[in-house]
Chain A
Amino acid sequence: MIGLIDQMKEKMRRTDVYKSIFRHSYEDTQRNRALQIVDNVFLHLHPVRVTRHATNVGFTWGMGGITFLLFIVLTITGVILMFYYRPAAEYAYDDMKFLMNDVAFGPLMRNMHRWGAHAMVITVMLHMFRVFLTGSYKAPRQFNWVIGVILLTLTLFLSFTGYLLPWDQLAIWAVTVGTNMARATPLLGHEGPFGPELGMKINNDVRFVLLGGTQVGPPTLLRFYVLHCIFLPLVATILMVVHFWRVRKDGGISGPDTTTKKF
């Protein structure tokens, strides 16, 4: 029986279909391990070989990777939520109720999206903490740190714009408190230093642009929805691509410079 299965496996590996998908043979050899990485579009984000300490969870805490994993989970669950959600004030809340009460796996999708978003904010902060503590922002990785800071900001904005979408009391008041600050923007806010002098009023300052009105209302919902589902994820994805590419180009995960004496 076992022999038969092995025989069939062997046959399968020799078919044209198999060989067209997997470009290398199956034996556990150095060469195949390398091909496994370079022949796979996803895995080839990685180099073929890395220093041993880079595989150590104690060094990186895996936080960058976990942040990325959560981003993927959020993209998938987010797309599913979009099937059930309309960003208009008269529908939004009822759509959420419907999702939570009548859609199969609806609550699971929404909960994973919400808790995953909270978790991502935490892991991105911890990732930054780790990168700081190992001094990994030092040459030649300075610019990748800057990209990271922008990613951190985008993560917070993604979470903040998403917070409004359920259109419940929690949502509009948290966003009201958060966007009230914009009134006080120097020069650009109607209550900020030198704002009134420059002609800022409640209906033309930077907060008005952000909210699409003088208070959090239906236009704000649409604005935040578009930012949350299209603009911010797009920008974040592009910057993540750059971030990962730079990790490679800067010589992989940072490590002690073993060419000098004391390290």
Chain B
Amino acid sequence: MDHLIKIISKPDNIPIVLMLGLTVFYTWFSMRKARRNDLQDISEEAKLSDKVQVWPYLVKVEFLAALLIMAILTIWSVGLDAPLEQPANPALTPNPSKAPWYFLGLQEILVYFDPWIAGVVLPTLIIVGLCAIPYIDINPKGNGYYTFKERPFAILTFMFGFLVLWVSLIVLGTFFRGPGWNIFMPWQEWDTHLVVALTNIDWSEWLPFHQPTRLVDGTLNPYAMLIGSVTVIGWYSLGVIYYFWKRKSDLMQKLGILRYSIVAFLFLTMMAVPVKVLLRIAFNIKYILVTPWFNI
């Protein structure tokens, strides 16, 4: 219990508690608004579509908000000092070494993917994917008011990415990861000597295949590579199969092949993350595909 209080009240962890509270609140708050709108013919926002003067109606709100935020920030800053630890020492690596909290989701994914994916490709795809959203979401409905019913796929996908893959992984990385990047419950004392035996195997070595990644002479087993490549290509061909299944549908016609390909690629890449996490947890799978240049 002491450890729980210690870890939650660590100055640099307070923002994460704050973020968690605010995201939960705003998710509930916005979905309540969406539900209310979805049950009516006309949205609450549309009922307020008359014009008011900015002075005083908007300036007043801004002023009060600024006052409130400044008050909170001042109290926070008077009450709690920013951390200043021992001077930098390149020879003394702390255990665990954690990135700043907003990158902990990515650091968490590093457990399941090699750095070139977790540290470079995925962040790039997050940024590119976010930029692409307005151009691939061609549903004209739900512009300027809260709704769920009119765009369930968009909202569920975004929430999965933001709430599960971003916010929850940050919370996991902050409160549940201890020395050696091992999982500790937040109330559990950190044991710096804990060694968790890793018995990871690669996808091709797993029961149904039984193909070792490397042959006895140390070279890569071509059959293992084949199994891996087929799996990766198979995963992305789900998007192709879905295309041919739904080709005639209205939505697919409107989307067009280019937009659809981008949506399918981004969606399948995002979903590959939880799938690999599950494979690791359930079957200790380390790599799906091992090549001389990179591993997936």
Contact = CB atoms under 8 A, between A and B. Distances in A.
Interface of A: 30, 33-34, 36-37, 43, 46-59, 61-62, 65-66, 69-70, 73, 89, 93, 96-97, 100, 107-108, 110-116, 118-119, 121-122, 125-126, 128-130, 132-139, 141-143, 145-146, 149, 152-153, 156, 159-160, 163, 166-174, 176-178, 180-186, 189, 191-194, 197, 215-217, 254-258, 262-263
A59 B34 CA distance: 11
20 contacts: A33-B55, A48-B53, A53-B48, A66-B65, A73-B73, A97-B84, A111-B82, A115-B77, A118-B101, A130-B26, A134-B146, A138-B137, A141-B134, A160-B103, A168-B84, A181-B118, A182-B120, A255-B46, A256-B144, A263-B46
Contacts of B33: 58
B137 to A, nearest CB: 7
Contacts of A152: 130
B48 A138 contact: no
Interface in B36-78: 41-46, 48-59, 61-62, 65-66, 69-70, 73-74, 76-78
Contacts of B57: 50, 52, 55
Chain A contact surface mostly: helix
A69 to B, nearest CB: 5
Q: Chain B at the A interface: mostly helix, strand, loop or mixed? A: helix
A49 B115 CA distance: 51
B216 interface: no
A194 B291 CA distance: 11
A34 B100 contact: no
Contact of B23 (A53, A126, A182, A215): A126
B49 A108 contact: no
Given A135-B144, A174-B100, A255-B144, A57 B65 contact: yes
Contact of B22 (A115, A126, A176): A126
Contacts of B48: 51-53, 56
B52 A136 contact: no
Contacts of A43: 54-55, 59
Counting chain B CB atoms within 10 Å of each CB, which of A100, A135, A143, A194 scores highest? A135
B90 interface: yes
A33 B56 contact: yes
B22 A119 contact: no
Contacts of A134: 142-146
Contacts of B74: 108, 112
B98 A174 contact: yes
A102 to B, nearest CB: 14
Contact of B90 (A115, A130, A172): A172
A177 B55 contact: no
Nearest to B92: A169
Contacts of B26: 61, 126, 129-130
A94 to B, nearest CB: 8
B135 A142 contact: yes
Contacts of A254: 143-144
Contacts of A169: 85-89, 92, 94
A133 B80 contact: no
B97 A177 contact: yes
Given A34-B55, A191-B116, 19 more contacts: A52-B49, A55-B52, A58-B33, A62-B65, A115-B76, A130-B26, A132-B155, A133-B30, A133-B155, A142-B135, A149-B130, A166-B84, A167-B87, A177-B99, A178-B100, A184-B120, A191-B115, A256-B144, A263-B42
